Amino acid sequence: MSLWSHYKYVFQLQFLRNAGFLIFMALIQILISVGIVIGFTYLIPAPDTKTILFLATGAPTIILIITGLVILPQQVGTAKSDGYMEFMRTWPVKRSVILGAETFMWIIITVPGIVVASLVAHFMFSPGYDISWTVVPALLMIALTSIGVGYGFSYLLSPTASLGISQVIIFGALMFSPVNFPMDRLPEWLQTLHEILPIYSMAEVMRASLATTTFDATLGNYINLLIWCVIGYGGAIIILNRK
């Protein structure tokens, strides 16, 4: 059987197993993304255009972070607990095929939230989008990094530890990560930490793609994402290949 046939059957199996949950999560992500764009403006007495633009370009990043670093680890933890992970190890396919099929499935459910948040922000606030041709590669790179890191620590750690880390990540991403506000508002030690961690680079790459005349992403941001992506997927494949 060809590699493509393996990929197709694995995707169908995983999608049918999770279809109801994925539809539910896609709807939740739409609500979260709209809540970020609209709800966060209530915290600011008189938000200017740049503030709105930060929120409008930050919402898609938050959606990808929630998907890859929060929801996915919880699903992996469930798969470990009910024995589905061991069942996957018996499949006569390459481990990269399993990860590839699941990654595509997770990317699909992020699309509605990203599209709806962007449209709501555009029609309600006119934040000044200036979309670059890099928007699709940027979205894919951010999604792959987020999902890859999520796979990495959720396959490595126990379900309980993965759940704890995912909760810390969502709290940190919403409150203490420069996704919806500028980096210089954070203390220096936290700025240094974000230069190493991938969340800040995700936000920078996203902003530079959706508002290219207002924001810039450096080469270091892309390299940072690439490194974390390789570490995440590489670690997940190694763990899946363990006997």
Question: In which residue are the tokens 């499949």 written?
Answer: 91
Q: For residue 146, what pLDDT is reported?
A: 93
Q: Give the model's confidence band at 220: pLDDT under 50 very low, under 70 low, under 90 confident, else very high.
A: very high
Neighbours of 69 (CB within 10 A): 26
Q: pLDDT tens digits, residue range 151-202?
A: 889 888 888 888 889 888 888 887 888 998 899 999 999 999 999 999 999 9
Collapsing DSSP to helix, strand or coil, 211 comes out as strand
The string of DSSP letters for 181-202 reads S-GGGS-HHHHHHHHHSHHHHH
Neighbours of 2 (CB within 10 A): 7
pLDDT averaged over the chain? Answer: 87
Cα angle at 109 between 106 and 111, to 5 degrees? 115
CA distances in angstroms from 82 to 24, 79, 88, 132, listed in the order given: 21, 5, 12, 44
Residue with tokens 């739409």: 30
What would the pLDDT profile of 82-93 be if each residue is shown by its tens digit? 888 888 778 788
Q: What is the CA radius of gyration of the chain?
A: 18
CA distance 109 to 43: 29
Average pLDDT over residues 30-38: 83
Token pair recorded at residue 48: 């200017």
Identify the bridge partners of residue 211 per DSSP, sorted by sequence position.
130
Q: Above pLDDT 90, what percent of the chain?
A: 28
Q: Strand, coil or helix: what is 130?
A: strand
